Each structure stands twice: as C-alpha cells, then as structure tokens.
Structure 1
Amino acid sequence: MNAPPNAPLYNKDILRLAADIPHHQRLPDAQASVEKRSPTCGSRVTADVRMADGRLADMGLDVKACALGQASAALMAGHAIGLTAQELADARDRLAAYLSGDSDDLDFWPGLSVLAPARGYPARHASIRLGFEAIAEAARQADA
C-alpha cells in the first residue's frame, strides 16, 4: 500500500481502509473519552480508551469523517494497542509534521504512505489528523 505522491487522492486502498475501521464501537467502560472535530470540514472522531500498565489496552472509535479521515483512523486503530501515551503523542506529532511539510518521514506508522497524496491538500489535513489526535489525548487523560 505504498502510494506515490502523485497518486489519486481517493483510491481503492483508501476506500478499503475507510470501510474497515478496527475498534469501531464505543467502549462502555472507558477511562477517558475525547472527541476531536475539524472546523474546516466537520469531520469528527471520538476515541474511548482503557490503559493498563501505562499502555493502551483497549479502544473504541466513533468516526464521522471523509474517506481520508476514516482511512487515517483505521491505520491508527490497527496499530495503537500496546503503545504508551507518549508513543501515541509522538505519532500524532510526526503525522502533523509530515502533513505540514516539516518532515518527509512516514515510516513511523505502518501503512501511512497510502495517505501521501493528501499532503498536497491542506484542507484535508485536519480530518487526517483527527484519529491520531483523539487517541493521543484520550490516552494522556487516562494515563494521568
């Protein structure tokens, strides 16, 4: 799923990810819940988390976003379990740095290269960051 930067913005890999978001149900017994919303497009992600021994033990997501936001949330959810709040915050920050052009590194999170074509569309960046922002903040709150 490596997409060159000149690939179409919406492709079958993006749509496949958007249709299959792991942990796509809210947690009834979450230690923390955070909702993040994009003022640009109205996309919204709510993340519920449970931490154990300083690591993300379980999560639940409610994602109401465009296909890019859904795909990003799916990638995040597929690899977040077992990480610390700091590791999740680092991933959030590295994604923001990539999208803003401050970094060219996408190797910090599996599969993110599929979102490379969106880098040239700043109006989509907030939606792409939502899942990472919500889970990082919820993990920080639950770990505090």
Structure 2
Amino acid sequence: MLALATGLAAYPLVHDLPRRAQERSRTCGSTIELGLELDGDGRIARLGMRVAACAVGQASAALFARSAIGRSVEDVAGASARIECWLGGGGDLPDWPGLGVLEPALALTSRHEALLLPWKAAMTVLSKPGGSG
C-alpha cells in the first residue's frame, strides 16, 4: 500500500482543473481535494488531487487516479457502489484495477471512509453541472 502512495505525485492538483470537490473522513480525518476535467463525452480526461490521508486513503486515491481517465459518471458511480457494498460485507471485491491490494483494509472499519474518499469526491464533482464542485 505504501508504494502506491508515491504514485500520487503523478497527479498534482493544478489550478486549471475546472471541476473540484473536497471530502473528509469523519472517522480518521483523512482528506482529499480532487480536480477533474471532462472530455466532450463527459468522461474524465484529466485529474489531479491533494491527499492528506493514512496509507489506506493514499493507496485508494492512487488506484483511483491510475484508472479514472476515460471513465464516465456511470463507471465511477458503479465502482463506488460496489466498493461500499464490499466494505459492508455484501459483495465481492469490485472490478477496479489493482483494488485487491486494499483487501487487508476490509477488516479495518475505521479506514473504510478513507478508502472511499476518491470515489466520493469524484461523485461530488461529477454530479454537479460544470464549474467547481
């Protein structure tokens, strides 16, 4: 998980990303600020993030960032719902590249909100029409 966190440097939060959202975990205080740019089809074209989180939150953010480009709001919403179901014990490991590395966090309920931060931030951004989130 720690090795994934170093990959976050490839996704800096730059000023010209027009759509933004911030999320915070109520259980551990982890935070994420996510910026997105969408293409003409409403798919994620570019992203950046600022993450202040535990290893689980950082690894989750890195996994989100690595595979988010080209994803639609439906893709992100589906993954988010499946991850929440999985964390609640009601489903299999969701189909998102690399997510298996986070399987040890399943037993760490205090880290579940940190794991969900990138998907929650993305859904906040994607659910608002244009502009900042």
TM-score (norm 1): 0.83
AA of the residue aligned to 1:101: G
Match of 2:32 among 22, 26, 45: 45
Deviation at 1:31, TM superposition (A): 2.5
The yes-or-no answer on 1:70 pairing with 2:58 is yes
The yes-or-no answer on 1:127 pairing with 2:111 is no
Counterpart-to-counterpart distance in 2, 1:134 and 1:52: 18
CA contact (8 A) 1:51 1:142 kept: no
What value does the CA root-mean-square deviation take over the aligned residues? 1.6
TM-score (norm 2): 0.90
The yes-or-no answer on 1:92 pairing with 2:87 is no
Q: Can you list the C-alpha shifts for 1:2-21, whole angstroms capped at 9, x where unaligned?
A: xxxxxxxxxxxx01001222
AA of the residue aligned to 2:12: Q
Q: Can you list the C-alpha shifts for 1:66-89, whole angstroms capped at 9, x where unaligned?
A: 011000000000000011112111
Residues 133 and 22 of structure 1, relative CA distance in 2, 3 Å threshold: farther
**What does residue 6 of structure 1 align with?**
none
Counterpart-to-counterpart distance in 2, 1:111 and 1:37: 23
Deviation at 1:130, TM superposition (A): 0.4
The runs of at least 4 aligned residues of structure 1 exceeding 4 Å deviation read none
AA of the residue aligned to 1:116: E
SS of residue in 2 equivalent to 1:21: helix
The yes-or-no answer on 1:113 pairing with 2:106 is no
**Number of equivalent positions:** 130
The yes-or-no answer on 1:30 pairing with 2:17 is yes
**What does residue 48 of structure 2 align with?**
60
Structure 1 gap segments, 5+ residues each = 1-13
AA of the residue aligned to 1:30: L
CA contact (8 A) 2:8 2:61 kept: yes
